[in-house]
Amino acid sequence: MAIKRISVLGASGQLGRSFQHLSHHFPFEIEFYDRSQVDITQVADIENLSSDLIINCAAYTAVDLAEDESGEAYQINRDAVQNIAQHCKSRKIPLIHFSSDYVYHNSLRRPLKESDPTRPKGVYARSKLAGERKITAICDHYYIFRVSWLYGPFGTNFPKTMLRLAKTRDALSIVNDQIGAPTNTLDLAGMILQLCSNPGMLSGDLSGIYNYCNRGTTSWDEIARCIFAQSTDKAIDVQSIPSKDYPTKAMRPRNSRLDLSKFDRTFGIEIRDWKSAMLDCLTFLKTN
C-alpha cells in the first residue's frame, strides 16, 4: 500500500523527536502529536486521527519508577496501545509499534530470536509485553519492533548521562555483565521511514514482531569507555562492576543480544554496527 499521510504519536520523546529530525527527507505528510495534543489513553483523541499509518513512539519507560507506578505503566504501555490498535483495525491501516528486549529476559545464552520464550521481570517489562499482545490480538496489519538500549541526540539517555557525569567526576563504576547492543534512535527512525517509502515492505503478509538494534555486542562499561574516549578531554576511570554491586528496583536482563536474521530476511535494509552509530551521535551532540 502507498503511504501518503502518517501520524506519529509520542512526538516529544527521544524517538519521536528523531522522526521529526528526519521527516523532511521523506515524501510524506507527517503529523506529530505529543500527549498534550493526542492523549493515547483517551479513545476520543485517537478517533480524531486521520492517516494511512500510525507510528506509536509513546511509552512509559521509567523502568524502576514503574515498580511504584504500575497503574500508569499499564495504562500507557497496554491500555493505550489497545486503543491505538482498535483504531487501526477499524480504519484498516497499519500500526508500527516499539517494544523492548526486556520482554525476553529468559535464560538463553545466545542472541535472542522473536520466537524465543518471553519471561519479563518487572512492571515495565510485563506492561510492554502486554501491549504487544493487545496488538497481535486486535490488529490485522502491524509491525512490532523489539529494540534494545535506545539512545540518541534527543531526550535523556545513557550517553548524555555519561557526558554530564564526566564534567564533575574522574571515575565511574559501570556494570559489565549486561550484554547487548545499543539502538540509535536516528537509525531506527530512518529505517522505519525507509520502510514506509517502499509499499511492498508494508504489505499485510509481513505483519509480525521483529528485533532491531545496531549490530554487534557490547556492555555498558565498554559503551562508557567509547563515549569518554571520543568526547572528553580528561581521562575518566571506568571501573567495571557486576550488576549485583549496582542494585536497581527493577531487574535488568543479562542477555539483551538480539538476533537480527528475521529482519534481514524480510526487509534487507542495512544495519550498521553500534560503535559507528554511537560515534555519529556523539559528533551530533558535540556540534549541536
* 215 vs 273: CA distance, rounded Å: 4
User: Which amino acid is residue 216, in one-letter code?
Assistant: G
CB 142 within 8 A of CB 94: yes
Q: How far is CA 67 from CA 61, 77, 79, 102, in A?
A: 11, 14, 17, 14
Residue 286 to residue 87: CA distance in whole angstroms: 41
Q: Name every residue whose Cβ is closer than 8 Å to that of residue 107 and which is 6 or more positions away in sequence.
A: none
Q: Which three cell numbers mark 159?
A: 550517553
In Å, what is the CA distance from 275 to each residue of 88, 135, 176, 240?
36, 33, 17, 19
Helix (H/G/I), strand (E/B), else coil: 175: strand
Q: Is residue 124 annotated as part of the catalytic site, yes or no? A: yes
176: cell is: 559489565
Tell me the CA end-to-end span of the chain in Å, nearest whole number: 37
List 33, 60, 102, 124, catalytic entry: 124
**Measured distance CA(24)–CA(26) in Å, rounded:** 6
Amino acid identity, position 68: D
List Cβ neighbours of 242 (8 Å cut-off, separation of 6 or more).
Answer: 175, 176, 177
| Helix, strand, coil percentages for the chain (3-state, nearest 5) | 45, 20, 40
Q: Which residues are known to be catalytic?
A: 124
